[in-house]
Amino acid sequence: MLRIPQPSPTQRQLQVESGKELRRVLVVWRFLSGVASGLVLRRICSTMENAQQIQVFTVTMNKVLRTFRWVCGLAWVFPVVQEICFSATFEVGPDKPYKAVRDAATACSPGDTIVVDPGIYVGTGALSLQPQCTLRGAGPGRTVLMPHWLASDGYALHAGRDTLVQGLWLCGGYWGGVDGSPWYPCRIENCVIWGNRRGVMCSKDTVLRNCIIFSNEEGVACGPDARATLVNTIVFGNGRNFRGELANISASYSCIEGGWPGEGNISADPLFARPEQCNMYELLDGPETYSPWPDFRLTADSPCLDAGLNYAELPETDIAGMQRIMFGGKSLTVDMGAYEFYINKLEPVPGTDEAVFTWSSLQGKTYSIFYSHDLFTWRLAIDNFPSFGNTTTSWTDDGSFTGLAPSLVTRRFYRLLENP
């Protein structure tokens, strides 16, 4: 069954412009086919002498040509309409229909979506996207795209016209992580671009939102006709952050080492959980055994917490599939970078046997809390515990729901589940 997805603002604009173009083409088609029909009929009728024969033949042929004209028109229009209004989803993973991202990218058509399961996907050739396609990592684990070290093409990904890239690690590109088309715009969101010679080679209009660009020889490169727009993005720990036409690079609400002009920008250390530099050659030699991989989650003292811009097209989740936006301790504002920070802590209550479990919560949600003493057997402590709102919610374990107070057990683990 064909599914009609809800279009994005960009897709809606594309539909409007394509609809106008279709109407213009159909008007021209009907005019030209009408002229051709008249010339054919006039030529045939000039050989007939009986007026009645001419009349019957003319009426019949007009019906035939009219039908033929519309059939030909529909045959031309249908693929275009299908491209605009319908889309398909291609799934990539060890147990999915496609095992390689490149195979799915080859099979898809403009407007389709490719969803890639977590894992490391090493390309054997150029990975290029069709126009208006979306390439998305499924999370919550790392979905890594990188080129093979023997491949002639040294980019992890070639973005196409009006493409959207979300939730990926783009690594090991000895030419670059992302190569944007020199003529068309593309968007890159919730991505980690790590361990490349050049992180992003900008296209005509490259938009980077909530990305992390770290440990590349060059972070973002712009040619004379290219333009880069960074929002909620962290550019840190690179050989140099920007190269090329610096006037074509704009940033706002971003964390950029050394500073950069723009509203809401900061330059302080983002305080990642484990900001490892990448040895690109070791990574290319054996990505499955490479160690250590970095952890780009923000820590509780990070200046990037609640410091981004809540823009209209903000994705609902971060690179790990966690909800955007979560209360990070200051305000209900999106964080900079690809990972949304959420409070998750357990503290003893002084002078008692109790412990308080606190987490970032959402308005109107309920939660189920489980506990375990060995991480293998989990038991339900409380179900449908109500949220305190878009802030933090706390639950006190005094032993009433877990059998014994926390101070009376050697160890106890907790697991939180957000109910639908």
pLDDT of residue 55: 62
Contact (CB, 8 A) for 363 and 349: no
Total-model pTM: 0.77
Q: Are strands 355-360 and 392-397 parallel, antiparallel or unpaired?
A: antiparallel
pLDDT of residue 28: 57
State both tokens at 338. 């690809």
Q: What are phi and psi of 106, to 5 degrees?
A: -70, -35
Kindly list the distances between the CA atom of residue 104 and the CA atoms of 2, 19, 86, 90, 112, in Å, as whole numbers in the listed order.
Answer: 19, 28, 17, 6, 10
Contact (CB, 8 A) for 9 and 313: yes
pLDDT of residue 44: 60
CA–chain centroid gap for 211, Å, is 10
Domain coordinates in residue numbering, the chain:
9-85, 89-298, 344-418
Q: 30 Cβ partners below 8 Å, 6+ apart? A: 69, 73
Q: What b/e readout covers 177-205, taking b as 16+ CB neighbours within 10 angstroms?
A: bbbbbeebbbbbbbbbbbbbbbbbbbbbb
* Residue whose C-alpha is closest to residue 394's, from 412, 413, 376, 369: 369
pLDDT of residue 226: 87
Architecture of domain 89-298: 3 Solenoid (2.160)
CA–chain centroid gap for 253, Å, is 19
Tens digits of pLDDT across the chain (420 residues): 333 333 443 443 444 344 445 455 555 555 565 556 556 556 665 665 565 665 666 566 666 656 665 555 554 444 444 444 557 999 999 999 999 999 999 998 999 999 999 999 998 666 888 889 999 999 889 999 998 776 656 788 888 889 999 999 999 888 888 887 666 789 999 999 999 988 998 877 899 999 999 999 999 998 888 899 999 999 999 999 998 888 899 999 999 999 999 999 999 999 999 999 999 889 888 888 999 999 999 999 999 999 999 988 898 899 999 989 998 888 889 999 999 999 999 999 999 999 999 999 999 999 999 999 999 999 999 999 999 999 999 999 999 999 999 999 999 999 999 998
